[in-house]
């Protein structure tokens, strides 16, 4: 390597690493540190140990509902939306007509921003004018899909799945195309029916895609923010951890230490899955 090569490498890698460290990893570390303080953004930073965490777990009334909603969100995406995406991918993987139309229709919501998805769900689910109440013939006794705190989280999860299913479907479809046809053929010759072939032969070979889908599902479930924020700023039954973080640090409260502690809890949950994902990359790297 000439000295010119060294300069090129150091400058360009340096810029990229600097951005990543200064804007992503540095702030992450800072959040962890701030979570042990009572900082409000103005006064000097005062360390208070783990008091924020105690307050969150013991007295903050919104924390457990929000955590429950995030878990529910994760369960819904993982147990309903993701399997549906997989099912559709398997069905579309058969050589059938109109497959491009089906794929495009299912995939279309993926390009929409979650903010737009939030707006559209208001058109569908609004109590007084929404299309769903009309379709169900509930004009006289309208259901308040978005206003009822027991109901609205389910409605939002359906809206989020609208996007998630298409995303998962596309990932699996690409994975299925790569599955060795002769494997399936020999299973069929051995007398396996279609369901058996899928679970015994196809699904195990989809392992790399499964991991990606798992990570995406978890990350999406924990990041969910825009969609509920657009609908009602994430209140009244739509509390999510991401919304609580936002509410505590932006706006008048400015309880930065407290908000950071909430963010750190979110981060710790994500971390487990990030590690799983990275260990897979590293294993790939070794090969």
Partner 1 sequence: MTAVATSVEGFRRQAPRPARLLLHAFLALVSLGWLAPLALAVYASLRPYHETAEDGYFSLPRTLTLHYYASAWRDAELTKYFLNSLLIAVPGVVLTLFLASFVAFAITRVRLRFGVPLLVLFTAGNLLPPQIIVVPLYELFKRVPLPASMSDSLTLYDSYWGVIAIHVAFQTGFCVFVLANYMRTVPYEITEAARVDGAGVWLQYWRVILPLCRPALAALGTLEFTWMYNDFLWALVLMSTGDKMPVTSALNNLRGQFFTDYNLLAAGAVIVALPTMVVFFALQRQFIAGLTLGSSKG
Choose among 228, 223, 225: nearest CA to 122.
Answer: 228
- Least distance from C-beta 54 to partner 1, angstroms? 20
- Closest to partner 1 by CB, 71 vs 212, is 212
- Least distance from C-beta 107 to partner 1, angstroms? 7
Tokens read off for 21: 């460290």
- Least distance from C-beta 112 to partner 1, angstroms? 5
- Closest to partner 1 by CB, 79 vs 268, is 268
SS3 assignment, position 40: coil
Burial level of 148, CB count in 10 A (0-12/13-18/19+)? middle
- Least distance from C-beta 2 to partner 1, angstroms? 6
- Least distance from C-beta 264 to partner 1, angstroms? 7
- Closest to partner 1 by CB, 55 vs 219, is 219
- Closest to partner 1 by CB, 151 vs 270, is 270
DSSP 204-259: HHTHHHHHHHHHHHHHHHHH--HHHHHHHTT-TT---HHHHHHHHHSSS---HHHH
CA 160, 161, 166, 170 dihedral sign is: positive
- Closest to partner 1 by CB, 71 vs 219, is 219
- Least distance from C-beta 149 to partner 1, angstroms? 21
- Closest to partner 1 by CB, 101 vs 141, is 101
- Least distance from C-beta 189 to partner 1, angstroms? 8
- Closest to partner 1 by CB, 1 vs 141, is 1
CA dihedral 259, 263, 264, 266 (to 10 degrees): 140
Question: What is the spatial distance between Cα 192 and Cα 233, in angstroms, rounded to a whole number?
Answer: 51
Question: What is the spatial distance between Cα 266 and Cα 2, in angstroms, rounded to a whole number?
Answer: 46
Contact 231, 84 (CB under 8 A): no
Tokens read off for 278: 């990275």
Contact 89, 97 (CB under 8 A): no
Question: What is the spatial distance between Cα 186 and Cα 87, in angstroms, rounded to a whole number?
Answer: 22
Phi, psi at residue 37, to the nearest 5°? Answer: -125, 170
- Least distance from C-beta 169 to partner 1, angstroms? 10
Tokens read off for 121: 């769900």
- Closest to partner 1 by CB, 54 vs 138, is 138
């Amino acid at each position: 390597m000439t000295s010119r090569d060294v300069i090129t490498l150091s400058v360009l890698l340096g810029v990229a690493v600097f951005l990543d460290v200064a804007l992503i990893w540095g702030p992450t570390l800072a959040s962890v540190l701030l979570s042990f303080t009572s900082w409000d953004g103005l006064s000097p930073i005062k360390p208070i140990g783990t008091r924020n965490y105690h307050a969150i777990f013991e007295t903050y009334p919104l924390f457990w509902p929000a955590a429950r909603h995030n878990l529910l969100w994760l369960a819904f995406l993982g147990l309903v939306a993701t399997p549906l995406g997989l099912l559709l991918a398997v069905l579309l993987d058969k050589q059938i007509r109109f497959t491009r139309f089906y794929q495009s229709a299912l995939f279309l919501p993926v390009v929409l921003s979650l903010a737009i998805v939030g707006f559209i769900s208001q058109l569908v689910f609004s109590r007084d004018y929404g299309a769903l109440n009309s379709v169900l013939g509930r004009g006289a006794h309208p259901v308040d899909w978005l206003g009822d705190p027991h109901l609205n989280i389910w409605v939002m999860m359906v809206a989020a799945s609208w996007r998630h299913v298409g995303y998962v479907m596309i990932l699996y479809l690409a994975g299925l195309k790569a599955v060795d046809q002769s494997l399936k053929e020999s299973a069929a010759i051995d007398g396996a029916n279609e369901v058996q072939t899928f679970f015994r032969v196809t699904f195990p070979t989809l392992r790399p895609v499964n991991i990606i889908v798992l990570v995406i599902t978890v990350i999406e479930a924990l990041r969910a923010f825009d969609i509920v924020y657009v609908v009602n700023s994430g209140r009244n039954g739509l509390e999510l951890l991401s919304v609580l973080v936002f509410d505590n640090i932006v706006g008048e409260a400015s309880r930065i230490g407290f908000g950071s502690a909430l963010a750190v809890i979110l981060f710790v949950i994500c971390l487990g899955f990030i590690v799983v994902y990275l260990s897979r990359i590293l294993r790939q790297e070794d090969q």
